[in-house]
Structure 1
Amino acid sequence: MKFLLVTTGGTIASAPSEHGLTPQASGAQLLQACPQLMGFDHDVEIVDLLSKDSSNMHQSDWLKMADCIRDHASLYDAIVLLHGTDTLAWTGAALSYLLPDMTIPVVLTGSMFAAGAPNSDVPDNIYAAFQFALQLAMYKRSGVSIAFADVLIHGPRATKLDSHRKNAFFSVDYPLLGEMKDRDTHKIAWLTSKTPSISPERPWSQNPPLETNIALFTVFPGLDSRFLDAVIDSGPKAVVIEAYGSGGLPFMNSGILPSIQRGISQGILFVMKSQTPFGGTDPARYEVGQKALDLGVLSARDLTREALLTKLMLLLPLFSGEKLQSQLYSNLCDDVLS
């Protein structure tokens, strides 16, 4: 089989500099840092696409990655993309939306520690990514996934929950797609029975405009509504409010509902997302959520933060009102199921 390795920078490609860790290594150097692949008897070609700390990733970079993958897909059986961890889950969600008709697997990975660090996770994660890609290709499973710390996570269901430990990524309310399992002196990739449902159709074009005029706002006890008023006055197309629990917003003690009502009257879309990463958003369970729904606030349901924001970026240039709500809740790639 034939594989393409695409590099974009990140910790996995970083080395110390006078300004701290910065991306420096090429794809060829990273493969050399992974001795486990010495027995990988398949052709691997390399495209060094970007060299950025993933904190600097931009929506335009998602389009570059999607174009690169799309341009090379017919020549390879699978693609492995190396990426920084800080926005890895965001890119996983974005590529899941941007590559609906991909017929080969695309596996993303990165590392929490640079290749030269003691006990680095670079070799293990690169090895696992290629092993998962091989198994996915053999079983003709397409889609975007993230290989990290010996597990395989569906692209729009991944989130980063740890800033230091190797097992930093988790699958949110969705089964794992695979695991690395010990066999004698090495590990093998094992795929679960879960195969994501992926629609080949998307309402946007291959190189769509992405709306970035979106605000993310988190509530906390004692929040002064004037800060939300300031957000509304800045004129966003949408505001994602991260609420308490299953979806609660304060309405006592000068709550924020009047501000939300004012924003909705100005045509701003409001979507409520739980601050907790697991369990989804269900504002109708409590009065503190139902009052917001009555004003016209939408629920994020079980969309992750990364998938929700990315999907809104793609939908807002195309739709509004009830049509946008319908598209937001449309299951495109097992991104929203409840």
Structure 2
Amino acid sequence: MKRRVLLIYTGGTIGMEKNYETGALVPFNFSNIFSKIPEMSLIECEVSVKAFETPIDSSDVGPEEWKEVAHYIEENYEFYDGFLILHGTDTMSYTASALSFMLKGLRKPVILTGSQLPIGDLRTDAKENLLTGLYYASLYENEEAVIQEVAIYFEYKLLRGNRTLKYSAEYFDAYQSPNYPTLGQSGVHLKVEKDFLYRSPADIPFTADMHISRQVLFWRIFPGMTLDYFTEIPKMKVLILQVFGSGTIFSSAKTERTLRKIRDNGTEIVVVTQCISGGISFGKYENSNIFKRIGAISGHDMTAESAITKAMHLLDNPNYSGTFAENFALNLRGEFSNMINR
């Protein structure tokens, strides 16, 4: 039985080709993708294409585009066995994280991929990423999808979407999942690490929850900075602080007074680490106890991209009962490691 895959093209380098008169990269008509990659016809799946009316650079992708992609998946969920989203690389981890929270009860593969070089380039990585992305998006065993979550496939590796970050603007191997194992790897054989795959609870039906709030602010702490201007910023509903190591910040009384004032104004504070690997552990060092005292929320070992999009999805979302802090502490889609849940 041939599986049906919906290929959703949003924009990005993978859909570009060089204008040899000007030397500039320009989008090509994506309905011609089959002539660009004739090998697609050799894969044991039927591919349909849905392209954004105007392809956009991934730096312009945000909540409205996340909703558009989620809507495409929702309205076509019953008609396709899997979904492959072609996306620019710069914000792909944000989109993958956002979709992981928006798509509840997912039991089909949603794979994102892109490329560092355009599809017409002689040394392009686009063809391998697209073709193997299709394989993963159509991979079934015993009439059940092997991948049932939002994942990124890039340069031979399949990674959980809400655990990824882009760490290189130059190398083909552009993405890492520092706090979670690789879900699969493409070599001579298509490998899947089934023990690491996410499964939605059986009692949760598939739905697309489009709620996204923009009342979230992200700030990276650095040595010598002053927090005075925090109290001058118009009230934000969630402040995500990216702090040192396992959760430390400069420990002056003024720091605590400032952060407490923000909390007293009703702002939730989420704490994530600046380290690529590892996570937050309140109480490990004295300089992290300030966050316990003010009632901040641990971001565990989540990526910044995942923490930001999770906060945007949960904030003021009427589809969740309980407080923001209670819901943020839940491991909703495998976005943090339970072993670090303190």
With the length of structure 1 as denominator, give the TM-score of the two structures: 0.89
**Residues 273, 301 of structure 2: 8 Å contact kept:** no
CA RMSD of superposed structures (Å): 2.6
1:271 aligned partner, one-letter code: V
2:80 aligned partner, one-letter code: Y
**Residues 112, 133 of structure 2: 8 Å contact kept:** yes
Is residue 146 of structure 1 aligned with residue 143 of structure 2?
Answer: no
Q: Equivalent residue for 1:190?
A: 191
Q: Percent identity between the aligned chains?
A: 24
Deviates more, 1:84-93 or 1:45-54: 45-54
User: Deviation string for 1:177-214 (max 9, x for gaps)?
Assistant: 110012xxxxx421112221324678xx7444321121
SS in 1 for 2:187: strand
SS in 2 for 1:163: coil
Q: Equivalent residue for 2:37?
A: 34
Shift, 1:31, TM fit: 3.8
**Residues 86, 160 of structure 1: 8 Å contact kept:** yes
Out of 178, 181, 186, the position equivalent to 1:175 is 181
User: Deviation string for 1:250-278 (max 9, x for gaps)?
Assistant: 124x7532211110111111111101122
Deviates more, 1:117-126 or 1:52-61: 117-126
1:324 aligned partner, one-letter code: F
SS in 2 for 1:75: coil
Count, aligned residues: 329
1:127 aligned partner, one-letter code: L
Is residue 127 of structure 1 aligned with residue 128 of structure 2?
Answer: no
Matches for 1:122-271 after TM superposition, within 5 Å? 122-136=126-140, 139-141=144-146, 142-182=148-188, 188-193=189-194, 194-199=196-201, 206-230=208-232, 233-252=233-252, 256-271=255-270
Distance 2:276 2:74 in 1: 31
**Residues 18, 120 of structure 2: 8 Å contact kept:** no
Deviates more, 1:317-326 or 1:106-115: 317-326
Unaligned runs of 5+ in 1: 183-187
User: Deviation string for 1:124-167 (max 9, x for gaps)?
Assistant: 11011012223256652322111100010112111111111111
Distance 1:36 1:226 in 2: 58
SS in 2 for 1:270: strand
Change in 2 beyond 3 A, CA 1:19/1:100: farther
Distance 1:71 1:250 in 2: 49
Is residue 283 of structure 1 aligned with residue 282 of structure 2?
Answer: yes
Shift, 1:29, TM fit: 3.1
Shift, 1:35, TM fit: 4.6
Distance 1:165 1:143 in 2: 26
Distance 1:136 1:121 in 2: 25
**Residues 197, 334 of structure 1: 8 Å contact kept:** no
Change in 2 beyond 3 A, CA 1:298/1:79: same
Query: Once superposed, which parts of structure 1, at least 4 consecutive aligned residues long, lie more than 6 Å away?
Result: 319-322
Shift, 1:243, TM fit: 0.2
With the length of structure 2 as denominator, give the TM-score of the two structures: 0.88
Shift, 1:314, TM fit: 1.5
Distance 2:283 2:64 in 1: 37
Unaligned runs of 5+ in 2: none
**Residues 34, 122 of structure 1: 8 Å contact kept:** no
